[in-house]
């Protein structure tokens, strides 16, 4: 009799444990799965719908890959370095890193270049399957002791990513503090190109700060070609760009952000980048849309700042 009772109790416990485990496992809409990226320990969400294939790391809510299925052959619009080690607190080179709450190096050399947002693990708050079978994923990053130590403000930052024929990113920052704060940000996008044939349109007639010579110049040419190390900030732009390069279909960028940075490390600088292998610098150009103009952005208490980026 006691043996029967033991068997029933064991089976009940097992079923209860299975039910609890299943309730803990997230259920995602069709076309979505969470997994480890390749052989790394990096948690990513893979989107595979009729429009595109995309990979988004929970670290930084960083898009690592975006392949529109209408491109023939389907080609990744983004470049991701083969040299990434995917270690904790190390920025991932490639895809679309989000630079926030500052762009570039901090005056304190101990603070992370381009801010902390791309190094932090974000929460995936919601994933929706739209009527057109595209997916909208919502990620959130809030303040914690680590962020407060380098940027003493309360905030919530939401990044909404719409994976369709185009890739739409929506940045929404809310000031939860009792004081206003300044910030700069940029999507530090790495585009998959043949650099030697790349032409970047949308910059003609604009002034730019050459970060290499710290001079301000005017771009008179219709398009920018990359024939040496380039590191330029265009503070005020029209928000529409086209990147043309052989072997890939033109990449069309539209955004309501004001500034854009164009960067490629070229030969010597890339030798100093441990996560850029061999001559891989020939395979990408960074066109970084954001608010990195000389004047920082000020956000008042309880106010929200919203910016969009669309990549086709």
Interface residue list for ligand TA6 (CB under 6 A) = 91, 104, 113-114, 211, 231, 261, 263, 286, 288
The residue (of 16 and 113) whose beta carbon lies closer to ligand TA6 is 113
Q: 57 with 42: CB under 8 angstroms?
A: yes
Closest by CA position to 46, among listed 66, 72, 74 = 66
The residue (of 102 and 181) whose beta carbon lies closer to ligand TA6 is 102
What's the min distance (Å) between Cβ of 211 and ligand TA6?
6
The residue (of 124 and 292) whose beta carbon lies closer to ligand TA6 is 292
Which H/E stretch holds residue 240? strand 240-245
What's the min distance (Å) between Cβ of 122 and ligand TA6?
18
Give the residue closest to ligand TA6 by C-beta.
263
What's the min distance (Å) between Cβ of 144 and ligand TA6?
22
Going by C-beta distance under 8 Å and a sequence separation of 6 or more, which residues neighbour residue 49? 31, 129, 133, 134, 135, 163
Q: Mark residue 52 as left, alpha or beta (left: phi above 0; alpha: psi -120 to 50; beta: remaining).
A: beta
C-beta neighbour count of 106 within 10 angstroms? 16
What's the min distance (Å) between Cβ of 261 and ligand TA6?
5
The residue (of 114 and 162) whose beta carbon lies closer to ligand TA6 is 114
What's the min distance (Å) between Cβ of 175 and ligand TA6?
25
The residue (of 68 and 202) whose beta carbon lies closer to ligand TA6 is 202
Which H/E stretch holds residue 270? helix 266-271
Q: 266 with 281: CB under 8 angstroms?
A: yes
């Amino acid at each position: 009799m006691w043996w029967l009772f033991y068997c029933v109790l064991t089976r009940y416990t097992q079923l209860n444990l299975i039910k609890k485990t299943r309730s803990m496992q997230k259920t995602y809409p069709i076309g979505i799965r969470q997994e480890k990226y390749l052989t790394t320990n990096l948690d990513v969400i893979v989107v595979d719908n009729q429009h595109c294939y995309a990979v988004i790391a929970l670290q930084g809510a960083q898009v690592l890959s975006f392949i529109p299925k209408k491109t023939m052959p389907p080609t990744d619009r983004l470049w991701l370095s083969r040299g990434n080690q995917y270690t904790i607190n190390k920025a991932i080179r490639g895809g679309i890193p989000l630079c926030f709450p500052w762009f570039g190096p901090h005056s304190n050399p101990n603070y992370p270049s381009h801010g902390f947002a791309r190094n932090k693990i974000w929460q995936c708050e919601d994933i929706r399957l739209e009527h057109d079978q595209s997916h909208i994923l919502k990620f959130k990053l809030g303040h914690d002791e680590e962020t407060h130590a380098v940027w003493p403000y309360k905030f919530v930052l939401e990044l909404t990513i719409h994976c369709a024929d185009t890739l739409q990113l929506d940045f929404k920052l809310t000031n939860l503090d009792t004081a206003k704060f300044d910030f700069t940000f940029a999507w530090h996008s790495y585009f998959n190109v043949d650099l030697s044939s790349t032409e970047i349109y949308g910059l003609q007639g604009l002034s730019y700060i050459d970060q290499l010579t710290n001079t301000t110049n005017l771009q008179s040419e219709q398009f920018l070609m990359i024939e040496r190390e380039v590191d330029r900030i265009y503070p005020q732009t029209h928000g529409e760009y086209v990147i043309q390069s052989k072997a890939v279909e033109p990449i069309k960028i539209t955004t309501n952000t004001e500034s854009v940075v164009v960067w490629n490390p070229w030969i010597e600088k890339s030798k100093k980048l441990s996560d850029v292998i061999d001559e891989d610098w020939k395979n990408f150009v960074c066109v970084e849309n954001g608010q990195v103009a000389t004047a920082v952005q000020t956000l008042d208490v309880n106010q929200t700042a919203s910016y969009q980026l669309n990549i086709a």
